[in-house]
Amino acid sequence: MILGTNAHEVIMRRLVSSGSPYEPKVGISRAVRVGSLVTVAGTAPLGSDGRTAGKGDPDTQARRCFEIISAALEGAGASFRHVVRTRILLTRIEDWQAVAAVHGEIFRDIRPVNTIMQVSSFVDPDWLVEIEADAVVEDDEGVA
């Protein structure tokens, strides 16, 4: 998709899908890349079968969220090393250390800014966590 207001301003917009059943229902993409910016939507712990992975286990759910995010970043020509911000949303704030430990395994040396917050609930009550990520890719990287 090409965005722009005049002939001198052409911005490519790349939409990335994860195959989530929520994407067409809500009208969203898993990730969007515009120029060097990649934004990954709130990512829930959905298994490839569309069901919640790791019911009751925040560690397993976080790992599944990051697997989906990794694939979305790759689809947008980025990787974890390009991530500059993450947001972790939890339904049980007491799970923050388990989820933060998984985040730390992935981002220990990358060290994006991060926010961890509690929310009252998600669309599916079995989800304990959703994770968002924003990345910046240099202009000459990840160009397909």
pLDDT score of 84: 98
DSSP per-residue codes, 41-110:
EEE--B-TTSSBSSTT-HHHHHHHHHHHHHHHHHHTT--GGGEEEEEEEESSGGGHHHHHHHHHHHHTTT
pLDDT score of 138: 84
Alpha-carbon gap, residue 93 to 8, rounded angstroms: 48
pLDDT score of 110: 97
- Note down pLDDT in tens along the chain; length 144 residues: 545 555 455 578 999 998 888 889 999 999 999 999 999 999 999 998 989 999 999 999 999 999 999 999 999 999 999 999 999 999 999 999 999 999 999 999 999 999 999 999 999 999 999 999 999 998 655 444
pLDDT score of 10: 58
pLDDT score of 78: 98
pLDDT score of 1: 53
Spatial contact of 99 and 63, defined as CB atoms under 8 Å apart: no
List the chain domain ranges. 2-136
pLDDT score of 3: 52
Spatial contact of 109 and 39, defined as CB atoms under 8 Å apart: no
**To which residue do tokens 């052409």 refer?**
10
Mention the CATH class of domain 2-136. alpha beta
